[in-house]
Amino acid sequence: EKINGDVIISHSEMMYKPHVLTELLATDHDISIVVDVDYDANKESGYYVKADIPYSRELYDQSVNLVEVDTSLSEDQIHGEFFGLWRVKGKGAEVLKESLEILGAKSNFDQLTFADLLNHIQSSHSISVTYIKSSWLDRKTYLSIRDKG
């Protein structure tokens, strides 16, 4: 009910440079996620993304779509990391609400993740991928850097 029109959704403990949001707002797609190609596959957890086209500087204005999000993709399938910044607008807002209703009715809803939500949406509606290189930090990393002085 609260998701109407053009909505930016961000994990609460993420900080990103302004150009990341600018890139996301420049997309024309109903649903878009931001994916960092400078990911760390050795960290304990992450929402790793497989897209229909891997990152390349030559993509520039080419449309890229999500294939799958998972915490355990093999290294050769990972095209980047979803860090929790995305946008829905128009039909995308409706698709998100419908997906939340469907998943919310499942007995294991409290165990589902963002990956489950995005994969569910992707099964019936395309999700655009906006690639970036770094330019974001989680709160824990930021505090660690700040504390080192």
pLDDT band, residue 1 (cuts 50/70/90): low
For residue 55, give Cα distances in angstroms to 78, 86, 123, 133: 10, 18, 22, 10
- pLDDT for 138 beyond 90: no
Burial 34-69 (b: 16+ CB within 10 A, else e): bbbbebeeeeeebbbbbbeeebeeeeeeeebebbeb
Mean pLDDT for 7-31 is 93
> Nearest-CA neighbor of 133 among 38, 26, 24, 63?
38
- The region of weakest confidence among 39-43, 123-127, 143-147 is 39-43
Could you identify the residue written with the tokens 């770094």? 134
- pLDDT for 9 beyond 80: yes
User: In degrees, to the nearest 5, what angle opens at C-alpha 84 toward C-alphas 14 and 135?
Assistant: 55
Q: CA 67 to CA 126: how far, in whole Å?
A: 9
> Which residues lie closer than 8 Å to 144 by C-beta, 6 or more apart?
none
> Which residues lie closer than 8 Å to 145 by C-beta, 6 or more apart?
137
